[in-house]
Amino acid sequence: MAFETTTNPMRGVEAKHGSGHYGVFEHGAHIWSYQPDGQAPVLWLSAHSAFSDDQPIRGGVPVIFPWFGPGEEGDPAHGFVRTATWHLQDTKDTLERDGRLLVEYELDQAMTGRQDGLPHRYRAYLRAKFTPEYLGITLEINNTGENVITFENALHTYLAVGDVREVTVSGLDGATYFDKVTGETQTQSGDITITGETDRVYTSEGEVVVHDPVLGRTLVIAKSGSANTVVWNPWVDKAKAMPDFGDDEWTGMLCIEAANCRDGAITLRPGEMHQLRQRIALA
């Protein structure tokens, strides 16, 4: 069937293709569902997420811009665009022929107002390409003002996994990372396994592969325009401390994020543009 505009629980674009399901909310240009026909959901979404205009959504693919993390005192975590209402600019639907849907949203300073954390003019685009084989995401930032701008950004992707304690992540062997849990900089040795609270910012531009023996599948996460890969799972105590995160939900998710943060922040001169891309494929 063709896509439809939905309003429950929030306004956005939604489509069903066989047993598959695609969904994007205009709130934050937030991709919340990617489930190819015949597959288990690829994206994780918390059952406790607050679907409220003034709150970010827990799960899916939050758009992070123009800072990663807490920002300055009083700033919303991960930037102001997560709770902004984006404008649906375009859709292309070939669902009945090949199961594909392209959705594009835009946002600019005229829509969000002047923000202390980014007082200069910009235009952002979020493009989501849903296919039976992969989900392709592009976050494009344009400097439309007269001043140089520097920003951080990320596609804060929550992947659904069978049991995060059984998952292995390859592709980051030898990469240095900042461990936000310990405050130390280390070098990855071998594959990643999740054995406790994990919050790491890797310096890596390469592909990452998530091996999930419980769901019996492999996810390949490729990216471009990204200096960093973030790997995150809250584990037991942090999950319990978050009101929009179920106490036991941490076992079913793992964030693998394409990012530009810390030393990887992006600087654009007037008229310049940057694209951050992520491609999540079932192998």
- Out of 106, 257, 272, 274, the active site residue is 257
- Please state, in angstroms and rounded to a whole number, the distance separating the CA atoms of residues 62 and 248: 21
Distance between CA atoms of residues 173 and 84, nearest Å: 37
pLDDT, tens digit (0-9, with 9 covering 90-100), for 149-189: 999 999 999 999 999 999 999 999 999 999 999 999 999 99
The stretches in the chain having pLDDT less than 70 are 1
- Continuous segment of H or E residues that includes residue 7: none
Q: Is 78 annotated as catalytic?
A: no
Is 134 in contact with 279 (CB distance < 8 Å)? yes
Predicted confidence at residue 72, as pLDDT, reads 76
Q: Domain residues for 39?
A: 4-282
CB of 112 closer than 8 Å to CB of 91: no
* pTM beyond 0.85, yes or no: yes
Cis check for the bond before 9: say yes or no (omega within 30 of 0): yes
Out of 146, 156, 205, 211, the active site residue is 156
Q: Number of structural domains, the chain? A: 1
Residue 248 backbone zone (phi > 0: left; psi -120 to 50: alpha; other: beta): alpha
Q: What is the CATH number of the domain that holds 145?
A: 2.70.98.10
Q: What is the pLDDT of residue 1?
A: 55
Quote the pLDDT of residue 10: 96
Q: Is 205 a catalytic residue?
A: no
In whole angstroms, give the CA distance from residue 200 to residue 181.
8
